[in-house]
Amino acid sequence: MTDIAERALHTRIARSVDAIRRSFADNLFYVTGRTLENATNLDLYTALAFTIRDRLLARMVAAQELYERRGAKTVAYLSAEFLLGPHLANNMLNLRMTDNVREAMAGLNLDLEAILEAEEEPGLGNGGLGRLAACFMDSLATLEIPATGYGIRYEFGIFEQLIRDGWQVEVADAWLRHGNPWELPRQHRYAVHFGGRVEHYQDEELRERVHWVPTSTIYGIAYDTPILGYGVLNVNMLRLWKSEARESFDLRAFNVGDYYGAVDDMVTAENISKVLYPNDEPEAGKALRLRQQYFFVCCSLQDMIRITLRDGGDLEHFPDRFIIQLNDTHPAIAIAEMMRLLLDEHLMDWDQAWAVTRRSFAYTNHTLLPEALETWPVAMFQSTLPRHLEIIYEINARFLDEVRVRFMDEPERLSRLSLIDEGQGDGVRRVRMANLACVGSTSINGVAELHTQLLKSTVLKDFHELWPEKFCNKTNGVTPRRFLALANPPLARLLDEAVGDDWLRNLQLLRALEPQACDVAFRQRWRDIKREAKARLSDYVRRTCGVTLDPDTLFDVQVKRIHEYKRQHLNVLHIVSLYQRLRQGIAQDATPRTFVFGGKAAPSYRMAKLIIKLINSVADVINHDTQVNRLLRVVFVPDFNVKTAQHIYAAADLSEQISTAGKEASGTGNMKFTMNGALTIGTLDGANVEIRAAVGEENFFLFGQTVEQVAQTWANGYRPREIYERDPELRGAIDLINSGLFAHGDSGLFRPLTDNLLSSDPFLVCADFHDYAQCQERAARAYGDPEHWSRMSILNVARCGRFSSDRAIREYNEDIWNVRPLPVTSPS
Ligand code: NBG
Ligand 1, CB cutoff 6 Å, lining residues: 127-129, 132, 328, 366-367, 372, 447, 476, 664-668, 686
Residue type at 512 in one-letter notation: A
Distance 678 CA to ligand 1 centre (A): 21
Helix axes 786-798, 520-545, angle to 10 degrees: 90
With the most atoms of ligand 1 within 8 angstroms of its CB, the residue from 666, 691, 805 to mutate is 666
Helix (H) or strand (E) holding 100: helix 98-107
With the most atoms of ligand 1 within 8 angstroms of its CB, the residue from 79, 81, 124, 129 to mutate is 129
Distance 224 CA to ligand 1 centre (A): 26
Q: Which ligand 1 atom is at minimum distance from the Cα of 476?
A: 14
Residue type at 775 in one-letter notation: C
Q: Which ligand 1 atom is at minimum distance from the Cα of 447?
A: 14
pLDDT, greater one: 247 or 428: 428
Share of the chain above pLDDT 70, in %: 96
Share of the chain above pLDDT 90, in %: 90
- Average pLDDT on 325-329 reads 98
Closest CA to 417 of 426, 113, 404, 427: 404
Residue 779 CA from chain centroid, whole number: 29
pLDDT tens digit string along 579-610?
Answer: 999 999 887 668 999 999 999 999 999 999 99
pLDDT tens digit string along 395-453?
Answer: 999 999 999 999 988 999 999 999 999 997 789 999 999 999 999 999 999 999 999 99
Outline where 625-727 has alpha helix (H).
642-648, 669-675, 688-695, 707-715, 720-726
Would you state the pLDDT for residue 282? 72
Closest CA to 675 of 186, 216, 135: 135
Residue 536, C-beta contacts closer than 8 angstroms, at least 6 positions apart: 647, 650, 651
Distances 359 to 353, 374, 397, 522, 814 between C-alpha atoms, Å: 10, 23, 20, 52, 16
Residue type at 57 in one-letter notation: L
> In this structure, how many other beta carbons lie within 10 angstroms of the beta carbon of residue 788?
13
Is it the case that residue 828 has pLDDT exceeding 50? no
Would you state the pLDDT for residue 9? 59
> In this structure, how many other beta carbons lie within 10 angstroms of the beta carbon of residue 350?
15
Q: Which ligand 1 atom is at minimum distance from the Cα of 667?
A: 12
Is it the case that residue 380 has pLDDT exceeding 60? yes
Residue type at 744 in one-letter notation: H
Exposure string (b/e) for 480-500, b if CB count within 10 Å is 16 or more? bbbbbbbbbbebbebbeebbe
Cβ atoms 50, 181 nearer than 8 A: yes
Would you state the pLDDT for residue 372? 79
Total residue count of the chain as it appears in this document: 828
Identify the residue whose C-alpha is closest to ligand 1 atom 6: 129
Compute the distance between CA of residue 699 and CA of residue 796 in angstroms, rounded to an integer. Answer: 7
Q: Which ligand 1 atom is at minimum distance from the Cα of 664?
A: 10
Residue 291, C-beta contacts closer than 8 angstroms, at least 6 positions apart: 194, 272, 384
Cβ atoms 40, 216 nearer than 8 A: no
Burial of 620 from C-beta contacts in 10 A (0-12 / 13-18 / 19+):
middle
- Average pLDDT on 303-309 reads 97
Identify the residue whose C-alpha is closest to ligand 1 atom 9: 366
Distances 206 to 200, 202, 209, 345, 531 between C-alpha atoms, Å: 12, 5, 9, 17, 77
Closest CA to 326 of 518, 149, 104, 572: 149
Distance 455 CA to ligand 1 centre (A): 14
On average, the pLDDT of the chain sits at 95
Cβ atoms 613, 167 nearer than 8 A: yes
Identify the residue whose C-alpha is closest to ligand 1 atom 12: 667
- Average pLDDT on 259-271 reads 80
pLDDT tens digit string along 607-643?
Answer: 999 999 999 999 999 999 999 999 999 999 999 999 9
Distance 157 CA to ligand 1 centre (A): 18
Distance 562 CA to ligand 1 centre (A): 13
Residue 474, C-beta contacts closer than 8 angstroms, at least 6 positions apart: 364, 445, 446, 447, 808, 811, 812, 815, 816
Compute the distance between CA of residue 653 and CA of residue 674 in angstroms, rounded to an integer. Answer: 10
Q: Which ligand 1 atom is at minimum distance from the Cα of 132?
A: 6
With the most atoms of ligand 1 within 8 angstroms of its CB, the residue from 367, 451, 685 to mutate is 367
Burial of 2 from C-beta contacts in 10 A (0-12 / 13-18 / 19+):
exposed
Distance 543 CA to ligand 1 centre (A): 31
Instruction: State the catalytic residues.
Output: 366, 560-561, 566, 668, 672
Is it the case that residue 188 has pLDDT exceeding 60? yes
